[in-house]
Amino acid sequence: MEKRFLDQLLAAKDLPSLPVVATQVLALSKNSSSSLMDYSEIIIRDVALSTQIIKLANSAYYESRRPIVNVRQAVQFIGLSSVVPLIVVFSMMGVLSTIKSPIDLLPYWKRSVLLSCLSAFLSRYAAGVSCEEAMLAGLLQDIGVLAGCAVFPAKYHEAQNYFWSDHDKLITEENAIFGNDHSAVGPYLLEKWGIPVPIANAVLSSHQVPVKDEQDDLDWCVSGSNILASCIIRGIENHNLWEEVQGALTCSWLNVAPEDVDDAAVKS
């Protein structure tokens, strides 16, 4: 990204920021000696976040045999490896609601959730990365778009038409205006947020062609999720979703065996 745009973006007062609780949770995650109680004591300071975590722990997805009634129980039941990315996910939803922009951010959020799910799916084929880390990196890979919408709403007004439907076109538009695309912006914002460096690096390489032997496992999951998301969105809009999914899963960079395609789709 051209330096003048990057400097303007990083200095902007409207640049999105994570809530304090999420930042503190991320800081804890970098300390291997952090305890369950440490996490619980921080999360409980945010009533809305505490409510969401407890509600999730009691949901049908986790199938708790007894009611979860407090944050400590919820964190213990869900597990620390899942709680950290979940805190960021819930916080991101709050960040979206605070951005003062005429741009419709729902398409951005829909694609981010899809990317998160696909990155987590790809972690099954990458031994060196956890599902939770891949999920979080996938969710955040387009965070540069969010920053751009907050700071340069006029420049992103037309480009918003491509947030969901044509990611390649969005990148082309960004390059024409800024000299680079949102993958170059994301790592700077994530650094300000205290997001772990491997995730920021994966965001930076998210538009590369996935090559498993030449990338870190997390980078491969994130760049692969970008390709899969484009295939799925194209399939939805062209009414040939299953054909697109089959083609994507059996392509050379992923190469899921044909007999495993049905199983992979069902489990996802």
Phi, psi angle pair for 167, to nearest 5°: -65, -35
Paired tokens of 193: 């947020």
Mean pLDDT within 213-223 = 90
Q: Which of 88, 116, 137 is the last residue of a domain?
A: 88
Report if residue 143 sits inside a domain: yes
Number of domains within the chain: 2
For 20-33, how does the pLDDT look when each residue is reduced to its tens digit (9 = 90+)? 999 999 989 888 89
Report if residue 94 sits inside a domain: no
For 223-266, how does the pLDDT look when each residue is reduced to its tens digit (9 = 90+)? 999 999 999 999 999 999 988 888 887 777 876 655 555 555 44
Give the CA distances from residue 24 to residues 27, 35, 92, 159, 210, in Å, rounded to whole numbers and listed in that order.
5, 13, 15, 34, 33
**Region of residue 179 (phi > 0: left; psi between -120 and 50: alpha; otherwise: beta):** left
- Which position has the token pair 């997805």? 61
pTM score: 0.84
Q: Which of 41, 56, 88 is the last residue of a domain?
A: 88
Closest CA to 108 of 120, 122, 92: 92
| CB burial of residue 69 (10 Å; 0-12, 13-18, 19+) | exposed
* H-assigned helices in 66-105: 71-78, 80-98
For 33-72, how does the pLDDT look when each residue is reduced to its tens digit (9 = 90+)? 999 999 999 999 999 899 999 999 999 888 888 999 999 9
Report if residue 83 sits inside a domain: yes
For 145-193, how does the pLDDT look when each residue is reduced to its tens digit (9 = 90+)? 988 888 888 888 888 889 988 999 999 999 988 888 999 889 988 988 8
Q: Which residue has the higher pLDDT, 174 or 213?
A: 174
